[in-house]
Structure 1
Amino acid sequence: MTVEKRARPPIAAAVSGLLAATAALGAAELGAALLRPQASPLLAVGSAFIDLTPAWLKDFAIRTFGANDKTVLLLGLVTAVAACAAAVGVLSTRRPRVAAGGLAALGAVATVAALSRPDAVPTDALPSLVAAVTGAPALLVLRRARAPREPHRALETAPQTTHRKAAAPAPGKAAERLQETAPETVRTDRRALLRTGVAVLGFAAISGGTARAVNAARDAAAGGAGLTLPLPSDPARPLLPGGDLRLPGLSSFTTPNRSFYRVDTALVVPRVPYRDWRLRIHGLVDRPVELTFDQILSRPLVERDITLTCVSNEVGGPYAGHARWLGVDLAGLLREAGVRAGADQILSRSADGWTGGTAVEAVLDGRDALLAIGMNGEVLPAAHGFPARMIVPGLYGYVSATKWVTELKLTRFADEQAYWTRRGWAENAPIKTASRIEVPKAFARIPAGRTTIAGTAWAQHRGVAAVEVRVDEGPWTQALLAPSPTPDTWRQWHLDWPATPGDHHLEVRATDTAGEVQPSQRTPPFPDGATGRHSVLVTVR
């Protein structure tokens, strides 16, 4: 009698692949935590993906997902890894060598990604190698655990009768016993797979949990908790009465730290212990300088109100915010180093290897450019650049506001390009005159009668001179401007409107102190910032 093998369930094989991948990633995360967190395979691949992202896809991600763009990317990576792992698990049932090759290929991709980072060191390859070395044995163990046994072997191992000369069972009886034994064999295979799967999952949980604990301890040590910043020797001017209109639905004049926009390429916030932090100023200088955080604290500190804007901000978008910054005069630092003739670019480098290119002239022309260490009366939050970041008023963030800054290299635009300029964005990016309607919101339904139209406008380092509003393509009406302490901040504005029933189109435009009026035609952010007028549709009942 011929007994066929029971087919291996594809679901069990796919689950085996997922469990093996989970164990591999857990071991890799632990290795990265012990070496360098940025060497994590997921983070390395995600960062490499960001580097390769074209401008249109970057803008789409920011426009669609906002501050959650990095979370969406990580979820996408996890989903892709899970799909690959499940496919490898199914493949291992018939072609284990090919499946092992698939795991090796995934490890190779992660290794190349880790070593391609700007600040990579040779040991960054180790976590990805650990993942490959861990995943392959885990998959083999799980494969063996789920492998079905021959039913006739179960029959051969059945308890024998105590009588030595017992007659051989009749064929019908043997088949009956086989049918009784085979289900028990299936249950035994499932129990073995369950035990092995729990063991592999436990290993992944322990290694991953340990990695998180190590990273949490490192983050706590790196943060500025308990650090008290000195008072500024040159404090900011007091905010003028009425500068914040405090209208419901209108952004506050000063943006709280927790609400301040964040747009950068870092998948996880770099954690730099401030006692280990160094700022190096070198390149085309007469006297290279290296400063510690304590040396920065010992210098006279300057406090300024400055509004920042991201070049990715669409017309009417949310990526603008205002804060009171504390730091040292950036121009003074450059003059101490002695900028040589011919140097026209400050190539700033972040702790994660990202670079930004700032025109030397924009820092030395008298504006309040800072190396900031404080924000809104607090130590600079980690998400916004602790221990230190650049702030250069009047320029979009990608050329002026490098976070986690560790290096300032004086060079030439003709010789070196920063991260985004290599990808086609403009070298010089002054912030364009902009305004937005915040009250009422788009598609709002409001009662008829006197209502308020309000919003914010900015033209950093030039200042906003006027804001005008029109309804349904009618005449432009001057809005009332709230006072602003300096040209480097945005201004709130408002206008009383006698709203009549029906659907209405509200439009705003600003004029800066140079007489530049917002154009009517909209252009996208690439390559040097969006332009155009913001408008909303509302319904009056």
Structure 2
Amino acid sequence: MKNLAAQARPKQAGNRSAAALTGVLAALTVLGVGHLVAALIDPAASPFYAMGASVVDHTPHALKDAAIRRFGSNDKLALFASMAAVMVVFAAILGILERRRPLGSVLLVLLGGVVLGAALQRPTATPWFAVPTLIGVAAGVLALRVLIGRVPVSGPALGGEATEGVSSADRVAGEESHPRAGSMGGGASMTGSAPRSDRDTGRDLELDGERRSGGRHPAEGGTIARTGPMGIGAAAGDDTAAGVGRADVGDVAADVGPAARNDAVAGTRRAAGGDSAATILPVASGGIGPSRSADVSSTSGTPPSGSLGGGGSRRRFLLFAAGVGAVAVGAAVAGQWVGARLRDVVADRAGFVVPRPVVPALAVEPGVRRAVPGLAEFVTPNDRFYRVDTALQLPALRSGDWRLRIHGMVDRPMELDIVGLRRRVAVERMITMTCVSNEVGGELVGTAVWTGYLLADLLAEVGVRPEADMLLSRSVDGFTAGTPVSAVTDGRDALLAVGMNGEPLPIAHGYPARLIVPGLYGYVSATKWVVDLELTRFDRAEAYWTQRGWAAKALIKTASRIDVPAAFATVPSGDVTVAGVAWAQHRGIDAVEVQVDDQPWQPATLADEYSTDTWRQWTWRWTAPPGAHTLRVRAIDRDGVTQTDARAQPFPDGSTGWHSRVITVR
């Protein structure tokens, strides 16, 4: 028996693996089919993105900061990978639970209800947002039921031989009706030889009498009376037939294992007149024979209760699984393709013409830049500009469909389209942007030339009422940011931008229009894909991140960073160039100082200032002695405020502290 159990373990593990695979494929079907349907309604209704957006909405700020710190602008990919891993685990559990009862299907429906709720809670949701999840879950349950009925149950026969092609339900029925403690029915040994008891002989005679009085031989299509520990069972054709039975085949009386709904049979038979026990292998339904080499290739099991189809071979299961997987993946790919064709924002952006600014940005003079390898470029290229936002799927908003509504506490509400916007005066400005999630010394900061329209001019057109102190901007995907009205109307170059570094805004950076407000962290000012501006008050409305505990008003803090030498670099002794950048938008940088170990602070050399709204590069020449050294940097802004050394995390209004790097000098 120990050997039998050892042989069974890997087979049972294989069955669990197949069942787990059915769960994963069912979940993939939900997502793929749902994604395809969502492409016809609204991409934001996709079950995967709706679930992901809900995760983003409820992620604790500490975990969000940790993800951004670790992955930077690749935090979306990290989230997708994490979600996929969790879904695979849960989906595998659903498949395993589905083996005996439709528990997996029930849980899949319940999880679908959770995703449905998440989809309907999206800021831009309509009742149609429910359709992709409903259809996806229905397809997923169907896939689960079809596949689970074809999971091959592979395990050793009671005599030690392997059986294949038996469904999970058959295996369960056999295990429940067949004694496992090394005996068959009335106590016959499964292996070796054992004397026939009078009780055994009596049962043989009783069964023989019943067969002669009305039963027919199995080969003639007759019924088989069955006896077991609880007495005589029903006929083989009866739905209640189960357990261990005996049948006379010619002059031989055999102990027969569970007859699983007229399918494969297995067990141990014993000759009526001898002591030896012989193994009976599964045979096709319709007859039971004593042969040790019965053909098992024709057996086909039956599925679990309520499943579709019958159990089969591994090859058949794998074919069905491959088919379901192909449908799921194909649906997801088709969803992407259909969505792109229905909302071809890439082609739209390619045809967008950046307006020619009436007032172009100032040229970057040679003294503004420092040519030091490893130092951040003064103007950040578009493809290297940081990206941090809540959009798991980039909104596909074409310029022809774009509208900007300006309303609220104004005298003359207004709605603009792209044609109306182009009639206004365009300007161009160089502005450095900073993300509030930027850690001390982080890279979530960059400078670009922005082309657009002054927000102050647009607000003047609608007539902002004196009591309004908040400009609540809204993205096409529902994200909101609250900007002080004073920061837009105090003369700074706050923009409704449509161009970046001479090109149309990249889709990831807000095409076709976004906000740029110098001096404020992006989460309170830099709404991408902006479609709505509401004039209101801070005591009446809250924006997305302020609802989650972040500060309502967030001025960019004075900061500086060492770019060269790199962290933990080894440099030769002698003259070493230390270089970096410093920023304090809308105030400007007045000085930068560098410290080596605990020595006195030394003034760095600043590059020329482009404007108070951009960062400044700096350099410092250091005569480096051999050994390990720690370099630190701090900045002093135009208001005379020295950057604090007190370390603070980004939450709730930006990080603080001195950036440092450890260097080895040889």
TM-score range, shorter chain: over 0.9
Aligned residues: 528
Q: Which deviates further from its counterpart, 238-247 or 529-538?
A: 238-247
Identity, % of aligned positions: 50
**Structure 2 match to 1:255:** 380
Q: Are 2:109 and 1:118 equivalent residues in the alignment?
A: no
Equivalent-residue separation in structure 1 for 2:438 and 2:641 (angstroms)? 19
Equivalent-residue separation in structure 1 for 2:436 and 2:345 (angstroms)? 33
Equivalent-residue separation in structure 2 for 1:103 and 1:122 (angstroms)? 21
Q: Are 2:151 and 1:146 equivalent residues in the alignment?
A: yes
Equivalent-residue separation in structure 1 for 2:376 and 2:557 (angstroms)? 20
**Structure 2 match to 1:311:** 436
Q: Are 2:407 and 1:407 equivalent residues in the alignment?
A: no
**Structure 1 match to 2:86:** 80
Secondary structure, in 3 states, of the residue corresponding to 2:149? helix
- Which of 105, 108, 126 aligns to 1:103? It is 108
Q: Are 2:223 and 1:217 equivalent residues in the alignment?
A: no
**Structure 1 match to 2:264:** none
Q: Which deviates further from its counterpart, 188-197 or 330-339?
A: 188-197
**Structure 2 match to 1:185:** 299
**Structure 1 match to 2:330:** 206
Equivalent-residue separation in structure 2 for 1:295 and 1:55 (angstroms)? 40
Select the structure that is richer in helix: 1
Q: Say what the alpha-carbon RMSD is for the aligned residues.
A: 2.4
- For 2:116, give the aligned amino acid: T
Equivalent-residue separation in structure 2 for 1:215 and 1:246 (angstroms)? 45
The superposition leaves residues 316-366 of structure 1 with CA deviations (integer Å, 9 ceiling, x where unpaired) of: 111100000000011000110100121000000011100000000010000
**Structure 2 match to 1:295:** 420
- Which of 539, 544, 550 aligns to 1:419? It is 544
**Structure 2 match to 1:61:** 67
**Structure 1 match to 2:655:** 530
**Structure 2 match to 1:164:** none
- For 2:123, give the aligned amino acid: P
- For 1:182, give the aligned amino acid: V
Equivalent-residue separation in structure 1 for 2:91 and 2:401 (angstroms)? 40
**How much does 1:515 deviate?**
0.2
- Which of 367, 391, 399 aligns to 1:242? It is 367
Equivalent-residue separation in structure 2 for 1:177 and 1:391 (angstroms)? 84
Q: Are 2:600 and 1:475 equivalent residues in the alignment?
A: yes
Equivalent-residue separation in structure 2 for 1:225 and 1:66 (angstroms)? 28
**How much does 1:158 deviate?**
10
**Structure 2 match to 1:163:** none
Q: Are 2:21 and 1:15 equivalent residues in the alignment?
A: yes
- For 1:190, give the aligned amino acid: R
Higher relative contact order (CA 8 A, sep 6+): 1
Secondary structure, in 3 states, of the residue corresponding to 1:181? coil
**How much does 1:265 deviate?**
0.8
Equivalent-residue separation in structure 2 for 1:477 and 1:169 (angstroms)? 108
**How much does 1:189 deviate?**
2.4
Q: Are 2:52 and 1:46 equivalent residues in the alignment?
A: yes
Q: Residues 157, 191 of structure 1: CA spacing in aligned structure 2 closer, same or farther, 3 A cutoff?
A: farther
Contact 1:21 1:135 in 2 (8 A): yes
Q: Are 2:595 and 1:492 equivalent residues in the alignment?
A: no
**How much does 1:236 deviate?**
0.8
The superposition leaves residues 24-81 of structure 1 with CA deviations (integer Å, 9 ceiling, x where unpaired) of: 2211110111111111111111111111112211111111221121111111111222
**How much does 1:394 deviate?**
0.5
Q: Are 2:30 and 1:24 equivalent residues in the alignment?
A: yes
Q: Residues 403, 53 of structure 1: CA spacing in aligned structure 2 closer, same or farther, 3 A cutoff?
A: same
Contact 1:27 1:204 in 2 (8 A): yes
Equivalent-residue separation in structure 2 for 1:145 and 1:353 (angstroms)? 45
**How much does 1:202 deviate?**
2.4
* Higher Cα radius of gyration: 2
Contact 1:388 1:404 in 2 (8 A): yes
The superposition leaves residues 70-100 of structure 1 with CA deviations (integer Å, 9 ceiling, x where unpaired) of: 111111111222112111111111121x222
Contact 2:344 2:398 in 1 (8 A): no
Unaligned runs of at least 5 residues, structure 1: 161-166
Equivalent-residue separation in structure 1 for 2:435 and 2:646 (angstroms)? 20
Q: Which deviates further from its counterpart, 79-88 or 513-522?
A: 79-88
Q: Residues 65, 159 of structure 1: CA spacing in aligned structure 2 closer, same or farther, 3 A cutoff?
A: farther
Counterparts in 2 of 1:370-519, with a 5 A limit? 370-519=495-644
The superposition leaves residues 449-472 of structure 1 with CA deviations (integer Å, 9 ceiling, x where unpaired) of: 111000000010010011111111
Q: Are 2:468 and 1:343 equivalent residues in the alignment?
A: yes
Equivalent-residue separation in structure 1 for 2:341 and 2:599 (angstroms)? 60
Equivalent-residue separation in structure 2 for 1:393 and 1:425 (angstroms)? 19
Equivalent-residue separation in structure 2 for 1:157 and 1:265 (angstroms)? 69
Contact 2:364 2:610 in 1 (8 A): yes
Secondary structure, in 3 states, of the residue corresponding to 1:394? coil
Unaligned runs of at least 5 residues, structure 2: 1-7, 153-165, 175-216, 222-248, 255-277, 281-287, 301-310
